[in-house]
Chains A and B, each alone.
Chain A
Amino acid sequence: MPNTRPLSPHLGIYRWRINMLQSTLHRLTGLFLCLGALLVAWGLIAAATSSAAWDTFAGFCGSLGGEILLFLWTWALLFHLCNGIQHLVRDMGKGFGPPRRDRRFTPSYWPAGWFVLGLSVVLTVLVWGLLIARMTGGAA
């Protein structure tokens, strides 16, 4: 029997801010990374099973769909990592700036949030740029 108690106010009544986006993305990327954990398990078990099993796994990773998923997993991991580090910093009570409630001021955690989001995208591009350079360049 479902719990019919009222829930907290709907998301729709709030004006979207970067910290809400961060919070939502943190949960979504976390969920997505749990599927990534299953991929890691598949890879390790395939490696322990046989050459054919590994080829099946490598074939999935090398397919177009697999590569798109791997790219998304890279970004999800890097965002969850950067945002998670910010979470740890904020858990220590740091990084909130002066307690301003005045709408004329931008709280310091908004630009910090955009920085985290931007950093995750830059790092993802950097990782894939290095991988592609390594694949096409041959050496290194």
Chain B
Amino acid sequence: MSAYPGQQGLRTPLKVARGNGSSKTGVHHWWLQRVTAVALIPLSIWFLFLVGGLLHAGYPMVLAAIAQPVHAIFLIVLSACLFWHGALGLQVIIEDYVHTRWLELTLEVALRFGATLGALACVMAVLSVWLTGTSYY
């Protein structure tokens, strides 16, 4: 006994059209969190080796390391994934523990501004070292 073809369970067509109820959105957040996580697996292992290799290195060596194209590209991708993944995680923490609506909304907006700023700053820093070469010293 279904009200429309293809009906599953007790959902009305309006409910199906409007979608996801109190969760507001679908699996977008969940999925992006997994995608950035998968990207961060090799990137973070690579980053550990990069930092380990640069331990007690002087400023010129650090600049030279960042300015290597492969390192620069990986650092840019790492920065983007790191801040993106971190923002998605912090968003859930805010949603879970901040129960005052205006404060929750303020924190979430501030989080997005902060994460975007942080990621952009990292990317610009890497680009400036990469593109100006090692002319700083």
Q: B100 to A1, Cβ gap below 8 A?
A: yes
A47-B83 contact given A38-B118, A41-B121, CB 8 Å threshold: no
Q: A131 to B52, Cβ gap below 8 A?
A: yes
Q: B55 to A135, Cβ gap below 8 A?
A: yes
Within 8 Å CB of B83, what residues of A?
37
CA distance A13 to B41 in the complex (A): 35
Q: A77 to B48, Cβ gap below 8 A?
A: yes
Contact indicator per residue, chain A 41-53, by CB within 8 Å of chain B (1) or not (0): 1001101101100
Within 8 Å CB of B79, what residues of A?
40-41, 44
Closest 3 CB pairs of A and B: A48-B125, A44-B125, A3-B99
Contact indicator per residue, chain B 47-69, by CB within 8 Å of chain A (1) or not (0): 01000100110010011001000
A33 to chain B, nearest CB (A): 7
CA distance A51 to B55 in the complex (A): 16
Number of B residues contacting the other chain (C-beta, 8 Å)?
Answer: 35
Q: Tell me whether chain B's interface is mostly helix, strand or loop, or mixed.
A: helix
CA distance A138 to B123 in the complex (A): 33
Q: B136 to A51, Cβ gap below 8 A?
A: yes
Within 8 Å CB of A127, what residues of B?
48, 52
B3 to chain A, nearest CB (A): 32
Q: What are 9 A-B contacts with C-beta separation under 8 Å? A: A1-B100, A31-B93, A41-B79, A44-B79, A47-B125, A48-B129, A85-B41, A127-B48, A131-B52
Within 8 Å CB of A51, what residues of B?
59, 136-137
Q: A47 to B66, Cβ gap below 8 A?
A: yes
Contact indicator per residue, chain B 76-97, by CB within 8 Å of chain A (1) or not (0): 0001001100100110010000
Q: A30 to B63, Cβ gap below 8 A?
A: no
A34-B86 contact given A44-B75, A51-B137, A85-B41, CB 8 Å threshold: yes
Interface residues of chain A, those whose CB is within 8 Å of chain B, are 1-3, 27, 30-31, 33-34, 37-38, 40-41, 44-45, 47-48, 50-51, 54-55, 62, 74, 77, 81, 84-85, 87-88, 91, 127, 130-131, 134-135
Within 8 Å CB of A131, what residues of B?
52, 55
B80 to chain A, nearest CB (A): 11
Within 8 Å CB of B73, what residues of A?
none
Within 8 Å CB of A31, what residues of B?
89-90, 93
A84-B82 contact given A44-B126, A135-B56, CB 8 Å threshold: no
Closest to B52 in A: A131
Chain A CB within 8 A of B101 CB: yes
Within 8 Å CB of B63, what residues of A?
47
